[in-house]
Structure 1
Amino acid sequence: DGTPFPTLFWLTCPLLIKRASHLESNGYMRVLTDRLGRDEQSRGRQQDAVYRYSARRDAHEVIEATQPGGAPDRIKCLHAHLAHELADGPNPVGSATLAQTGWPDCLVPCVEVPE
């Protein structure tokens, strides 16, 4: 229904949401999970990102039990990892997702920024 569930970072760009959803429906989470399973260096960098996310999250009691889109070795939500990368990176899974989605190439902003 579009309501944010308890998460620290929430992806709001409609274009990135659509692109991340397309990647999820085409199995990109499995590709990244497999990469983490066979590449110790990637797994270590992702674990570092999860620990940094957890440390920042712990300051917010209401969402204390969450992790960014899965676990350090299993990818569950590309949207959460991409939001983490954009707001407080680095997040290797978020970075890989952004490399696939590309920066939003919007012709007009989806929000107005007051002057």
Structure 2
Amino acid sequence: MTTPPFPTPTAAELAVVSAQLGRTARGVVGIAARCVCGNPTVVATTPRLPDGSPFPTFYYLTHPAATAAMSTLEATQVMPELAALLADDEQVAAAYLKAHRSYLRDRSGFGEVDEISGISAGGMPTRVKCLHALAGHALAAGPGVNPIGDAALERSSWSPDRCRCDEPGAALRDAEASSA
């Protein structure tokens, strides 16, 4: 069994993630996707948090602009449109099932947790439940892996190709300076 290729996060990266979340980051095992400026966008988390809680969301969207864009999509009722795409297109449904299996495989490299066995995130493999989780997976896995996550990113006002941080690299640079 292999795990996704990301190094252990640095103290500076964890500080950036904590600032993005507005709370202390928990159970982070890696930065799974980054903004073009280098700031974290998606973290990978342990399937069991340090307090013992099971946590199925292995790929967790942290970038504030990306998170806001997914919240806006959810508020504008795009989820029923994506659910209809899933229900009406056999190829999309098959790719979504494959994405679910890939997600579980990635997470299993960091431990198995009985309470969440077979549960991935975002409603996979049969529903569209949380665009934040699906976009996080799409960003971490890359285009073409999670069709619903890809579709959410395409419909959003946020793009992984354009920095929307206050100042490109500032959060990471500032965190690195304070941890030195």
User: Smaller-chain TM-score range?
Assistant: 0.7 to 0.9
1:43-54 mapped onto 2 (5 Å cutoff): 43-54=93-104
- Which residue matches 1:96? 151
8 A Cα contact 1:57 1:64, kept in partner? no
8 A Cα contact 2:137 2:146, kept in partner? yes
3-state SS, counterpart of residue 42 of structure 1: helix
When normalised by structure 1's length, the TM-score is 0.84
Once the two structures are overlaid, the 10-residue window that deviates more, 23-32 or 60-69, is: 60-69
- Which residue matches 1:108? 167
1:64/1:57 Cα in 2 relative to 1: closer, same or farther (>3 Å)? Answer: farther
8 A Cα contact 1:33 1:74, kept in partner? yes
Cα offsets for 1:54-94 (capped at 9, x unmatched): 11122322474331211312100000010011112321111
3-state SS, counterpart of residue 137 of structure 2: helix
1:1-115 mapped onto 2 (5 Å cutoff): 6=55, 7-59=57-109, 60-62=111-113, 64-65=116-117, 66-89=119-142, 90-101=145-156, 102-103=158-159, 104-106=162-164, 107-109=166-168, 111-113=171-173, 114=176
Separation in structure 1 between the aligned mates of residue 22 and residue 125 of structure 2, nearest angstrom: 25
Larger strand percent = 2
8 A Cα contact 2:96 2:124, kept in partner? no
8 A Cα contact 1:58 1:64, kept in partner? no
Larger helix percent = 1
Residue identity over aligned pairs, in percent, reads 33
Structure of larger gyration radius: 2
Gaps of 5+ in 2: 1-20, 27-53
Cα offsets for 1:14-55 (capped at 9, x unmatched): 001011001011111111111110110111111111111111
Gaps of 5+ in 1: none
Higher relative CO (CA 8 A, sep ≥ 6), structure 1 or 2? 1
